Chain A
Amino acid sequence: MSESSSSRALLLEGVTKRFGDFTAVDALSFHVPRGCVFGFIGPNGAGKTTTIRMILDILRPDEGRIEALGQAMSEELKNRLGYLPEEHGLYKKMRVRDTLRYFAGLKGADPRAVGRDIPTWLERFGLAEWADRRIEELSKGMQQKTQFLVSVLHRPELLVLDEPFAGLDPVNLAALRDAIVDLKREGRTVLFSTHVMEVAEKICDDVLMIHRGRKVLDGPMDTILGGQVEHVAVVAYEGDGAFIRTLPGVAAVNDYGNYVEVRLLDGADSQDLLRALVDRVRILRFEMRRTTLTEVFLRLAGGDSQAESTESRL
């Protein structure tokens, strides 16, 4: 990596963006260490996309400072960033190969290097046979994969992905997840926003959550998920479990029909819960696990985000 002077891939300080009377992003500060995978979460309308657009100089902040790879935005710097927008931004009539070449060219990439890399990437994402098809002939998932290739072909040092997993089936989701992990191994930094908490939980080193334009959570994933302390009981049972909610030590209950998840208050003992249950219902399964990112998300986003909870459980 040419720019080793700064250990930060990205730095935001007091960044604010208003649209008329509406403050989309409110004095947001955070930094992303180099070489990490950074998760960016928050309910719809929290200001994630606006923040991402400011990082890429598509929008200018009203206040505050943004530095990527240790420097302020410039033409040269744009070439070292990669971007995948939330909605597909591809020319429908253009062919896949031409699309990849064009956008890599706009990033100042060497056409020969790009020409060499294209077949490898297409192969990896199962798009090799589609290289000479028009974008409009591709399925939504294939378009999403093409969009991802557009964001990485010029070998960016910092990759910013807005909802990269949206619309992908489990196979493609795994392929994309693996690609992100590989980029990290090559020393590149990846920041992505997502609603797929399970993936974020597995691959992110750090996570940032914003809500209504403000930061509500920022830190290493392990710390956020409460280390190894097990907080949640997964219980499958027969009988009427309505009473579980009222037991001492229970913070919240999520009923999924086939089983319930019981989140315990800090310091509550899971053995007490099990004892209380055995008396009243027939237990089919009882296991402890640690807090998930989904639960953290739901707790922080509050009750006004019920729609989100459905989405985030996907």
Chain B
Amino acid sequence: MKSKTLLVAQREYIETVKTKTFLIGLALMPVFIGVSMFLPALFIQRSGPSEVRIDVLDRSGQVYASLEKQAADYSARPNVRPRIALRQVEPGSNATEDIQRDLERRVRAHEIFGCLIVPEGVVEGQGTTTYASSNLALNEAQANLERWLNNAVADVRMREKGLDPQLVASVRRPVAFETEALGKEGQKEKRQGEEAVLAPMFTSMAFVMLLFLGIMLVGQMCLNSVIEEKSNRIVEVVLASTSPGQFMTGKILGAGLMGLTLLAAWAGGAYAVAVWKGYARMVSLGNLGYLVLYFILGFMLFSSTFCAIGSVCNSVKEAQNLMGPLSLILVVPLMMIGPIARDPSGTLAVTMSYIPFWTPFVMMSRLAASPRPGIPEIVLSTAVLAAGTAFVFWAAGRIFRVGVLLYGKPPRLGEILRWIRRS
């Protein structure tokens, strides 16, 4: 014969998995994560015009050819956005001011993206070069133009000093440059450019978000189901058959299994999208075991708390008032992801690792960053979390036993504390 705890867990799992809320959560959350994680990156890369046109007035007559060549080389590289197309303005006999006024008018009319006016004495270091555009936020254009112009002027100056152009080219040859993220001895990941900074951040963000959403969603379901059982007087029928301890344990067990199902689906979905979109190298799966461990402990901790809250409330609305402070506690580690990732072994990160309600999130962030916390620290903080979870589970059980049969006004905090000490 099946134990009553398992029966409760089984019902909780099966009946919740069948609900629309669960299915929607299952399907929509990866989409939500995908949108919030990938879209900004894609957006920055893919947005804006694919090509911008910039008119150049070269009063010196010495730099345009070089500028045009550098712009063409740049624009010919793959995945460059926006490409930069230069066009020379023939000065004719017009005054610089008139040409400038005309170019600015065309920029304002969005006929061209921007204009560059190079003064006559640019090589000699006289006069100021001006770049004008209606959109300075798209800063690839101005940054590149400044660099290209400096290159062009330097080339002219070197040639004037009698240096061989080939010698100049060989002097200007770029060095090979690579970035490495150092972890434990023997672990060295070669990443290029921004990936070196982004990959650990990205993975830890994703894991912490998964943990947070999983715990919140399933905890909320726990809360709602307790309130439903209480307001529909189902608890009476159940408690006439089982003890409150069996009942609460069964509920948490069932909800926890449901949470693991969600987490598996989301993580799988997110990884599939990452592979499909070519971001797979940004994900390191080494911390998956920890994700499961911290989910189980963190989930037990929060769902016990949610069950206790649900048991003293008569409606979801009442529960929301009590949920406020708890949500605040939950949000703190999320806001701290950035600082923790930048200094994962700093005082802030280490201190936060030993506060049970934060341990899962903080440790998950730290494990994904480098330097990783050492084994003693992982064991100790996990032990503190486990002890905290055990205590909260025990206290929640006492609150649940009394609260779930109490109707009317929710009890005061002092009263609840008395239930924990007594009974």
Mark out the residues of chain A between 53 and 100 whose CB falls within 8 Å of any chain B CB in the assembled complex: 53, 56-59, 75, 78-79, 81, 83, 85-94
Say whether A171 faces chain B, with CB atoms less than 8 Å apart. no
**Given the known A-B contacts A94-B15, A106-B4, A106-B7, are A87 and B243 also in contact in the complex, defined by CB atoms under 8 Å?**
no
- The one of B7, B8, B228, B239 in contact with A58, judged by C-beta atoms closer than 8 angstroms, is B239
Q: Could you say which residues of chain A place their CB within 8 Å of the CB of B243? A: 75
Say whether B238 faces chain A, with CB atoms less than 8 Å apart. yes
Contact A53 B238 (CB under 8 A): no
**Given the known A-B contacts A58-B240, A106-B7, are A89 and B234 also in contact in the complex, defined by CB atoms under 8 Å?**
yes
Mark out the residues of chain A between 34 and 56 whose CB falls within 8 Å of any chain B CB in the assembled complex: 53, 56
Q: Could you say which residues of chain B place their CB within 8 Å of the CB of A78? A: 240-242
Contact B233 A87 (CB under 8 A): yes
Contact A102 B234 (CB under 8 A): no
Contact A106 B15 (CB under 8 A): no
- The one of A57, A75, A106, A110 in contact with B238, judged by C-beta atoms closer than 8 angstroms, is A106
Q: Could you say which residues of chain B place their CB within 8 Å of the CB of A87? A: 232-233
Q: Could you say which residues of chain A place their CB within 8 Å of the CB of B18? A: 93
Contact B7 A53 (CB under 8 A): no
Contact B19 A83 (CB under 8 A): no
Say whether A107 faces chain B, with CB atoms less than 8 Å apart. yes
Say whether B109 faces chain A, with CB atoms less than 8 Å apart. no
Contact A89 B241 (CB under 8 A): no
Contact B242 A106 (CB under 8 A): yes
Say whether A105 faces chain B, with CB atoms less than 8 Å apart. yes
- Name the interface size band of chain A: 20 to 34
Contact A85 B237 (CB under 8 A): yes
Q: Could you say which residues of chain A place their CB within 8 Å of the CB of B111? A: none
In whole Å, how far is A122's beta carbon from the nearest beta carbon of chain B?
19
Contact B241 A107 (CB under 8 A): yes
In the complex, the chain A residue whose C-beta lies closest to that of B250 is A106
In the complex, the chain B residue whose C-beta lies closest to that of A87 is B233
**Given the known A-B contacts A105-B7, A106-B4, A106-B7, are A81 and B240 also in contact in the complex, defined by CB atoms under 8 Å?**
yes
- The one of A92, A103, A107 in contact with B232, judged by C-beta atoms closer than 8 angstroms, is A92
> How far apart are the CA atoms of A258 and B378 in the complex, in Å?
85
Total contacts A-B at CB 8 Å: 67
> How far apart are the CA atoms of A213 and B234 in the complex, in Å?
25
Interface string of A184-195 (1 = CB under 8 A from B): 000000000000
In the complex, the chain A residue whose C-beta lies closest to that of B404 is A58
> How far apart are the CA atoms of A17 and B2 in the complex, in Å?
34
Say whether A302 faces chain B, with CB atoms less than 8 Å apart. no
> How far apart are the CA atoms of A46 and B422 in the complex, in Å?
28
> How far apart are the CA atoms of A195 and B229 in the complex, in Å?
26
Contact B240 A91 (CB under 8 A): no
Say whether B235 faces chain A, with CB atoms less than 8 Å apart. yes
Say whether A108 faces chain B, with CB atoms less than 8 Å apart. yes
Interface string of B1-38 (1 = CB under 8 A from A): 11010011001000100110000000000000000000
In the complex, the chain A residue whose C-beta lies closest to that of B2 is A105
Q: Could you say which residues of chain A place their CB within 8 Å of the CB of B238? A: 89, 106
In whole Å, how far is A257's beta carbon from the nearest beta carbon of chain B?
38
Mark out the residues of chain A between 86 and 133 whose CB falls within 8 Å of any chain B CB in the assembled complex: 86-94, 102-103, 105-108, 110
**Given the known A-B contacts A102-B7, A107-B241, are A58 and B405 also in contact in the complex, defined by CB atoms under 8 Å?**
yes
- The one of B1, B19, B237 in contact with A150, judged by C-beta atoms closer than 8 angstroms, is B237
Q: Could you say which residues of chain B place their CB within 8 Å of the CB of A92? A: 228, 232
Say whether B236 faces chain A, with CB atoms less than 8 Å apart. yes
Q: Could you say which residues of chain B place their CB within 8 Å of the CB of A53? A: 236, 405
Contact A91 B241 (CB under 8 A): no
Mark out the residues of chain B between 198 and 256 whose CB falls within 8 Å of any chain A CB in the assembled complex: 228-229, 232-243
Question: Which of A57, A86, A88, A108 lies at the interface centre, i.e. has the most chain B CB atoms within 10 A of its CB?
Answer: A108
**Given the known A-B contacts A102-B7, A105-B2, A108-B1, are A89 and B236 also in contact in the complex, defined by CB atoms under 8 Å?**
yes
Q: Could you say which residues of chain B place their CB within 8 Å of the CB of A56? A: 239-240
Q: Could you say which residues of chain B place their CB within 8 Å of the CB of A91? A: 15, 228-229, 232, 234
Question: Which of A57, A83, A106 lies at the interface centre, i.e. has the most chain B CB atoms within 10 A of its CB?
Answer: A106
Q: Could you say which residues of chain B place their CB within 8 Å of the CB of A89? A: 232-238
> How far apart are the CA atoms of A78 and B239 in the complex, in Å?
9
Q: Could you say which residues of chain A place their CB within 8 Å of the CB of B232? A: 87-92
> How far apart are the CA atoms of A17 and B236 in the complex, in Å?
17
In whole Å, how far is A272's beta carbon from the nearest beta carbon of chain B?
53
> How far apart are the CA atoms of A150 and B237 in the complex, in Å?
9
Q: Could you say which residues of chain A place their CB within 8 Å of the CB of B233? A: 85-89
Contact B234 A83 (CB under 8 A): no
User: Which 8 A-B pairs give the minimum distances between C-beta atoms?
Assistant: A106-B241, A89-B237, A83-B240, A89-B233, A56-B240, A89-B234, A87-B233, A85-B236
Please name 13 further chain A to chain B contacts, defined as beta carbons within 8 Å, in addition to the given A88-B233, A92-B232, A106-B7, sorted by A numbering: A58-B239, A78-B240, A85-B237, A88-B232, A89-B233, A89-B234, A89-B237, A90-B237, A102-B11, A105-B7, A106-B4, A107-B241, A110-B1
Q: Which A residues form the contact surface with B (CB < 8 A)?
A: 53, 56-59, 75, 78-79, 81, 83, 85-94, 102-103, 105-108, 110, 150
